Amino acid sequence: MPEENSLEARGETFFLNLRFMLIVTVFVGNAIEPLIGQMSGLHSLFVWIFSFHMPLFVLVTGYFAKKSLTGTAGRRVLLQIGLQYLIFQSLYSALDVSLFHTDNIHHSFFAPYLLLWFLASHVFWRLLMLGMARWSLWTKLAFAVAAGVAVGYLQLDGVWFSISRTFVYLPFFVIGYHFNFAAFEKLYRKYARIAAAAVSIVMLVTLGFLFEGIPLGWLYGNMTFMQVEAHDWYAGAYRLAMYGLQFAASLAFLGFVPYRFSRMTDWGRRTLYVFLLHGFVVRLAVVSGIYAYIGNAFGAVLLVLSATLCTILLAQPAVKRLLHPLVEPPVEWMSVLRQAALRRPL
């Protein structure tokens, strides 16, 4: 195998492993959220997860976007994300009105329902990268960081159009798109990975205490400064500090990620199914009343293990075969309609 192909294969394996590990943290984080105000251990785990999992997920998305940003492939991805958003925004909103009754939800196609912010932002990240195509990496990064800070000063609810998270996490998409896996592989050798993982464990133990009294909205990235009650003119400095924390936490977590191909690598190919479907599982668990029976460490561990097991189950090939038309809706018919419209005489 040519060296370039070998490097490409190693990079894909690493990022698929990372993607699966991240979707586990997404599921676990959302599963334990109803209990973080009652159990300090879960609060620490939650803060640790949110310090890296969204930045890294955006970075991974940027990395895999390199092959499909432009041309026919790029248009197809944008169309499919749009269809996914329409389908799942409708499903989640309908179930929320009839069954879930989640607090503080805007039922509008202009306000993504909870986890669906990622679909809306993904579209904008791709469009922004196309607009910055001729810029250098450092110019893109400078703009992305500046925009991530500036969006916080807007006097509006950051969930509309997912505007806050789109710009807050744009730097990580840029980094992922330009990620140099060869340089990373040389840097993250055995002892560097051990040190990084050790730092991540220290963060797991300490971040919960550091975030006592600090609004978690800073970690979510979906709130403007006025929403987290940071009204001072220098509030942007807090966003920069948060970038520093998220960057450090992300680098530390990468120490856990294996380079070798395994069953987990294959599961990493179907994380989209876990992402779009796990919200139904979590919301059904909430309305079932099961959280009222989880009040000790054993119950918390069982909850984390259950979320991990559900992640593995939703990443199975059988789920993809069954739900492929829903999760990855075909878009070819849209191109056919477009071509037919263009051929129609005026």
- Is the pLDDT assigned to residue 344 strictly greater than 80? no
Min mean pLDDT across 32-41, 64-73, 141-150, 327-336 is at 327-336
Q: Enumerate residues 6+ apart whose C-beta is below 8 A from 264.
A: 16, 17, 20, 21, 258
pLDDT digits (tens, 9 = 90+) for 167-182: 999 999 999 999 999 9
pLDDT digits (tens, 9 = 90+) for 210-225: 888 888 899 999 999 9
Q: How many CB atoms lie within 10 A of CB 51?
A: 26
pLDDT digits (tens, 9 = 90+) for 235-250: 999 999 999 999 999 9
* Amino acid occupying residue 20: F
* Closest C-alpha to 40, from 167, 209, 190, 164: 209
- Band of the pLDDT at 328, cuts 50, 70, 90? very high
Alpha helices in the chain (DSSP H): 3-32, 40-50, 53-64, 71-95, 117-131, 137-150, 163-168, 170-177, 181-187, 190-210, 217-220, 235-253, 263-267, 271-288, 297-314, 317-327, 332-343
Q: Please tell me the pTM assigned to this model.
A: 0.94
- Please, which residues bridge with residue 108 across strands? 111
